[in-house]
Structure 1
Amino acid sequence: MSSAPDIDVLVLGGAGVDTIVYVPELPLPFADSYMIQPGIRTRAGQTGDFVALGLHALGMRTHHLDMLGDDPEGDLVRALHRDHGIPLTEVPQPCGTKRAVNLVGPDGRRLSLYDATRGSDTDRLPDDTVAALAATSRHAHVSITQPCAHALPVLLAAGVTISTDLHDWDGENPYHAAFAHAADIVFLSAAALDDPERTMRGIVARGRAREVVATAGADGAHLLADGELTHVPAVAPPSPVVDSNGAGDAFAAAYLFGRLTGEPPRRSALFGATAGAHACTVPSTTTAAIDRATLLTRATRLSPAP
């Protein structure tokens, strides 16, 4: 008889460090220099970190697996997980911990500059490590980094359900398609899609996905579940919008929380919209995911549970 899983969600990839720069406007006009307020700050937190933080704040047993360098950036990531009590399994990354610079405009929009030198074609998460963690996990959320691409067959062989976030996929790039077609739940942004419904139905037709969510910022989100496409209205933020960074990760974490606690897709999407709205009120320089009680209270106020 197999024992119950120790991990609700195994998060693979997406660990790193961002340097946050608030700029007077985006795009930023050329100038010799700018005086930046409220300053420039480097902090741990990229997509996998934020999903792990969001799930953990909602009471899900979460474990994060990724490659980290023996460097100051890696120390920041390790400290983030240690301070929040999130288990982290790290694989050495000789190229160094992933890092990026985020330019954030006054309206909360962001432009991210990723350091492409912090990785190589040989990057891998050890198959035995992935298999061992997957064997004791209910679900795996996979970032679209190269080490995670090579981990997909191991996860599929383990029989764990999979989700992924394709971010601003154009619907064509074959690299993203490999993740889309291996996942049971697919998140993506509608920003680069001419026809979100066509792309979403294509994901379902070509892969194993049973649910696809395309987020559209202030326009809400599109949910495809059981063959039916529905619109999920945006939730009004509880306070002024200061930063959109991490909103998609918050949406994904809250949606997965809903599904893993037995909620139907539509209500899980409401959870996602509520968490995403909350994230937009949190400055990029901090990490403050919505907690379970707050999420449930706000979601019930918007749409009482049946």
Structure 2
Amino acid sequence: MSSSPDSGPGPGPDIDVLVLGGAGVDTIVYVPELPLPYADSHMIRPGIETRAGQTGDFVALGLHRLGLRTHHLDLVGADPEGDLVRALHRDQGIPLTEVRQPAGTKRAVNLVGPDGRRLSLYDATRGHDDDRLPPHTVKALAARSRHAHVSLTQPCAHTLPLLREAGVTISTDLHDWDGSAAYHQSFAFAADIVFLSTTALDDPERTLREIAVRGRASVVVGTAGAAGALLLTGPDEDLHHVPAVTPPGPVVDSNGAGDAFAAGFLYAWLAGADPVTCALHGTVAGAFACTVPATRTEAIGRDALLAEVARLGSPDGGPRPVPGHVRIEG
């Protein structure tokens, strides 16, 4: 669906989280192993499927399933891929403000191995350097929002000063940043909460501390898959290790696990929970995502998240579950 950024029920925030960017379509190809051996052809089972859902879509869905009032803003094409994105938001009930993208909707091919690892191939022709999200639209939606989650796409970089002016807190996900690529730095140093994968980092602690020192982040989280996550709450604070949790089923795909972690973390953070408790919510949501095949777009619900956090929470001062209703009222 498309919605007007100027509509809303009067003063005060009526959007808990504004998600910017990251709308697109993935074609999922299950392969016998990664890296895929060279051959003239491979027989693919259970088949090749195309579905809507990239990083912004997954974060928006995760937040929405947890009961937060979520709104998604991005450039979307007038093409079959755009129809899939629009249908996903319509069917899930997630408001979408779409800006027309003449180059077409973002798309990618994900090769998924038997162990759930993936290799993503992104179509770099679906955008231009001068792509922008209209400033008046960003400002209007930000004025209605409590928090903004900014995807790591080129148009979103230009929204960061606008969001800061609007006074909303900002989170971002740097994904597999190597700790030095210049493109990611504007996101890393402008956000209040920074998520990133430790996969490509030679020294994760050094990178997390650099983000905290050079930027404005009060929380930096490095996710490490089955090794859990690293949590830093200030440049001079101790680095905290958050253990991984056991997934509720077989691990079939890691696609969307980082997005699910961010959604679970933000759910607890908006409820006022401490960072360790927020990270526990994130690990539970991320573990659930690893049990969902890449051909489906699904996220953990609030009741299931809270039940698992309550089960894992320690009675002697460890992480505690947040209230079951965290909606932000104006």
TM-score normalised to structure 1 length: 0.98
Give the match for residue 77 of structure 1.
85
Equivalent-residue separation in structure 2 for 1:94 and 1:260 (angstroms): 36
Give the match for residue 289 of structure 1.
299
Equivalent-residue separation in structure 1 for 2:75 and 2:81 (angstroms): 12
SS of equivalent to 1:182: coil
SS of equivalent to 1:125: coil
Q: How far apart are residue 60 of structure 1 and its match? A: 0.4
Q: Could you tell me which amino acid in structure 1 is paired with residue 57 of structure 2?
A: D
Equivalent-residue separation in structure 2 for 1:28 and 1:170 (angstroms): 24
Of residues 232, 238, 241, the one that matches 1:228 is: 238
Give the match for residue 246 of structure 1.
256
Q: How far apart are residue 250 of structure 1 and its match? A: 0.2
SS of equivalent to 2:304: helix
The percentage of aligned residue pairs carrying the same residue is 74
Deviates more, 1:153-162 or 1:48-57: 153-162
Equivalent-residue separation in structure 2 for 1:59 and 1:88 (angstroms): 16
Q: How far apart are residue 3 of structure 1 and its match? A: 2.8
Q: Could you tell me which amino acid in structure 1 is paired with residue 170 of structure 2?
A: I
Equivalent-residue separation in structure 2 for 1:131 and 1:228 (angstroms): 37
Q: How far apart are residue 6 of structure 1 and its match? A: 0.5
Q: How far apart are residue 4 of structure 1 and its match? A: 2.4
**Within the alignment, does 1:203 sit opposite 2:211 as a pair?**
yes
Equivalent-residue separation in structure 2 for 1:111 and 1:152 (angstroms): 29
Give the match for residue 99 of structure 2.
91
Q: How far apart are residue 168 of structure 1 and its match? A: 0.4
Equivalent-residue separation in structure 2 for 1:150 and 1:33 (angstroms): 43
Equivalent-residue separation in structure 2 for 1:228 and 1:63 (angstroms): 35
What's the CA shift string for 1:157-208, capped at 9, x where partnerless?
1111000000000111111011010000000000011111111111011111
The correspondence of residues 152-163 of structure 1 with structure 2, limited to 5 A, is 152-163=160-171
Of residues 101, 121, 130, the one that matches 1:113 is: 121
Give the match for residue 271 of structure 2.
261
Give the match for residue 149 of structure 1.
157
SS of equivalent to 2:280: helix
SS of equivalent to 1:228: coil
The correspondence of residues 57-72 of structure 1 with structure 2, limited to 5 A, is 57-72=65-80
Equivalent-residue separation in structure 2 for 1:170 and 1:145 (angstroms): 16
Equivalent-residue separation in structure 1 for 2:173 and 2:189 (angstroms): 12
What's the CA shift string for 1:254-278, capped at 9, x where partnerless?
0000100111100110000000000
Q: Could you tell me which amino acid in structure 2 is paired with residue 68 of structure 1?
A: V
What's the CA shift string for 1:64-90, capped at 9, x where partnerless?
000000000000000000000000000
Equivalent-residue separation in structure 1 for 2:220 and 2:145 (angstroms): 22
TM-score normalised to structure 2 length: 0.91
SS of equivalent to 2:125: coil
SS of equivalent to 2:189: helix
Of residues 36, 46, 49, the one that matches 1:41 is: 49
RMSD: 0.9
Residue segments in structure 1 that go unaligned for 5+ positions in a row: none
Q: Matched residue pairs, number?
A: 305
Equivalent-residue separation in structure 2 for 1:35 and 1:47 (angstroms): 28
Equivalent-residue separation in structure 2 for 1:4 and 1:228 (angstroms): 37
Q: How far apart are residue 300 of structure 1 and its match? A: 1.0
Equivalent-residue separation in structure 2 for 1:11 and 1:129 (angstroms): 13
Q: How far apart are residue 143 of structure 1 and its match? A: 0.4
**Within the alignment, does 1:214 sit opposite 2:226 as a pair?**
no
SS of equivalent to 1:10: strand
Of residues 5, 8, 13, the one that matches 1:5 is: 13
Give the match for residue 170 of structure 1.
178
Residue segments in structure 2 that go unaligned for 5+ positions in a row: 1-9, 315-319, 322-330
Deviates more, 1:195-204 or 1:220-229: 220-229
Equivalent-residue separation in structure 1 for 2:301 and 2:273 (angstroms): 17
Q: How far apart are residue 237 of structure 1 and its match? A: 0.6
What's the CA shift string for 1:81-109, capped at 9, x where partnerless?
00000000000100000000000000000
Aligned structure 1 segments of 4 or more residues deviating by more than 6 angstroms: none
Q: Could you tell me which amino acid in structure 2 is paired with residue 53 of structure 1?
A: L
